[in-house]
Amino acid sequence: MKTPAPLSIGGREFRWGERTYVMGVINVTPDSFSGDGLGDDAEAAIAQGVRMAEDGADLIDVGGESTRPGFESVSVEEEIRRVVPVIEGLRRRIDIPLSIDTYKPAVARAALEAGASLLNDIHGFRADPAMARLAVEFAVPAIAMYNQRDRPFHDVIGNIMGGWQESLAIAREQGLPEERIILDPGFNFGWTPEQALEMLSRFDELRQAERPLLIGTSRKSTIGLVLGLPIGDRLEGTAATVAITIAYGADIVRVHDVREMARVARMADAIVRGWQRQEES
């Protein structure tokens, strides 16, 4: 299958197939499923982002509304109030690209104006096609996630591929070329645990989309169910899912524990993509 062409994000070139990129997660919410919600503490969120950059993050994804099952939506104004100071603060402190995790165009616009350079839409433009138009207006790439919530189930890979085609069609209608889209299969977004595990075991089949692939398994409930462990004790389970999906073709892994998962990614890349010994000077 064809390797997608390199993509510029925030002035940095991402060359797919050469190594795995690590996206750190910052939740500026009081109710994050992962137990890391920072509420209104913008300074704590900025400090967390700086640590992630130091620990090896290639991108940082900032979100102001929880998307856990049964989440309560917050107002556009509240979401903007949460994310904009963090994005502005991170933009002053670090030079890696920042992503805004939202499906609301007004929030996305405020985040892009504050310094974000990537859109991350958990509805893949289906909730509001204006998200794709914003990517065109600001000349930024976008992540289109497939969301299985409230959709009929037929087959794990078939559902994902069909949903992605819907997202890509919306993007084309709004003038956003496929070459500027990263795809995410939406691990744990509306899937049973068995279906979520099947997604990972068949992840290599998703490469037929011929777009960069992002996966976000970090600390999620399927890992907790398999291991019988609470949210704060799922590091090894997350590491297993990261290594497996890298072996099956993931290009970006979205994680909470950046230092540890960056090491997992480097080791997996050495096995999957090859490794060269660095000569001592």
DSSP string of 174-240, one letter each residue: TT--GGGEEEE--TTSS--HHHHHHHHHTGGGGGGG-S-BEE--TT-HHHHHHHT--GGG-HHHHHH
The distance in angstroms from the start CA to the end CA of the chain is 39
Give the active site residue among 254, 263, 266, 277: 254
Please report the pLDDT score of residue 280 as a whole number: 63
The dotted CATH code for 15-272 is 3.20.20.20
**What is the pTM for the complete model shown?**
0.94
Give the pLDDT of residue 68.
66
User: pLDDT (tens digit, 9 = 90+) per residue, 53-101?
Assistant: 999 999 999 999 987 666 678 999 999 999 999 999 999 999 999 999 9
- State the DSSP H helix or E strand holding residue 120, giving kind and residue range, or none if neither: strand 118-121
Q: Is 2 a catalytic residue?
A: no
Catalytic residue among 220, 259, 266, 273: 220
What 3-state class would DSSP assign to 140? Answer: coil
Give the residue from 277, 272, 276, 269 showing the smallest Cα distance to 19.
Answer: 269
Q: How far is CA 250 from CA 14, 20, 212, 223, 277, in A?
A: 13, 7, 8, 18, 24
Closest CA to 23 of 49, 48, 57, 55: 57
Is 12 a residue of the active site? Answer: no
For the chain, give the mean pLDDT. Answer: 94
Weakly modelled stretches of the chain, pLDDT under 50 = 32-35
